[in-house]
Structure 1
Amino acid sequence: MAIAKTNAVRLLDRLGIPYELRDYDVDPDDLVAESVARKIGLPPEQVFKTLVARGDKRGVCLAVVPADCELDLKALAKATGDKKIDTVSLKEVEPLTGYIRGGVTAMACKKTYPVFLEETAELFDVISVSAGIRGVQILLAPADYIRAVAATIAPIAKPKA
């Protein structure tokens, strides 16, 4: 089966960034990033999920953290320069990004938002992020991802409670 070219993939092609696509079976009842990691054969700390947050001063931003972690809101607020920040409601995700839950990526969003990437991403040769649709992940070098989305590196993840 040919994997559809998403806007995220087109962006990487335009930038001349090498990547690998991995597709997986989607279970609408199980969209957690750890399951995606298992399905594509990567450890969860190498598979990154993209969360949409809104700060009191700087507005909407994207936080990209490993599958086996949760977003540290205090750390993200510190990184963005906001006093208070929180993730947006699920119903706001698609209008803001153009992507549905389980398919959110910082690449080729509807609008350009500041992107904050958990610093542990740089420990790997390859990381995995959503290709912008459920069922397809993009594997690429962290430095290439950082360049593609102009990400700021920051310690924004914490172990799951």
Structure 2
Amino acid sequence: GLSVSQTMKTIVLKGDKSGFFVCCLGGHREIDMKKLPEVTGDRDIETVPAERLQTLTGYVRGGVSPLGMKKKLRILVDSQILNEDSVSMSAGKRGLQLWLRPSDLVSATEGQVASFSKEKH
């Protein structure tokens, strides 16, 4: 079966210095807003509102994939996800999933592996 740690979330954010970027992390984790600014160099980071997602990524909320985005955004892949053999992520439409090895995701997106998540409570 599918474990929550194998389900990947793709979250689009905006930093005050770095601009728009994407975080990919396991479904069982959440972004650590203390660690993330250390990775991006931003002081202030906010989640991009749902209505801006389509313009930026070409995808709607719930269907955002780190692959094939409309604009080339910086992709950060949480180091925790590399512990999985494969991960499931949105394939660009709500309900449509794609399976990839984490290392292939990093290669395909030219992603930067970093530690920016914490366990969900």
TM-score bin (small chain): over 0.9
More strand by share: 2
Partner of 1:150: 110
> Is 2:47 the counterpart of 1:87?
yes
Distance in 2, matches of 1:111 and 1:74, equals 27
8 Å CA contact retained: 1:74, 1:85: no
**Matches of 2:17 and 2:34 in 1, distance apart?**
14
Aligned residue for 1:74, secondary structure, equals coil
Equivalent of 1:121 in 63, 77, 81 = 81
Equivalenced residues, count: 121
> Which string of whole-angstrom CA distances, capped at 9 and with x for unpartnered residues, describes residues 131-160 of structure 1?
011111111111111000011111111122
Extract unaligned runs of 5+ from structure 1: 1-40
- Any residues of structure 2 matched to 1:32-51 within 5 Å, and which? 41-51=1-11
1:137 to 91, 97, 107: 97
Report % sequence identity.
37
Letter in 2 for 1:91: E
TM-score, with length taken from structure 2 = 0.94
One-letter identity of the residue aligned with 1:129: M
User: What's the RMSD between the two structures over aligned residues?
Assistant: 1.1
What SS does the aligned partner of 1:73 have? coil
The CA distance in 1 between the partners of 2:50 and 2:95, in whole Å, is 19
Segments of structure 2 that go 5 or more residues without pairing to the other structure are none
Question: What is the aligned partner in structure 2 of residue 78 from structure 1?
Answer: 38
Q: Using the TM superposition, give the Cα deviation of residue 47 of structure 1 relative to its aligned residue in structure 2, in angstroms.
A: 0.8
Other-structure match for 1:107: 67
- Which runs of structure 1 show a deviation greater than 6 angstroms over 4 or more consecutive aligned residues? none
Structure (1 or 2) with the larger CA radius of gyration: 1
Could you tell me how far apart the structure 2 residues matched to 1:74 and 1:116 are? 15
Counterpart AA for 2:61: R
CA distance in 2, matches of 1:97, 1:74: 26
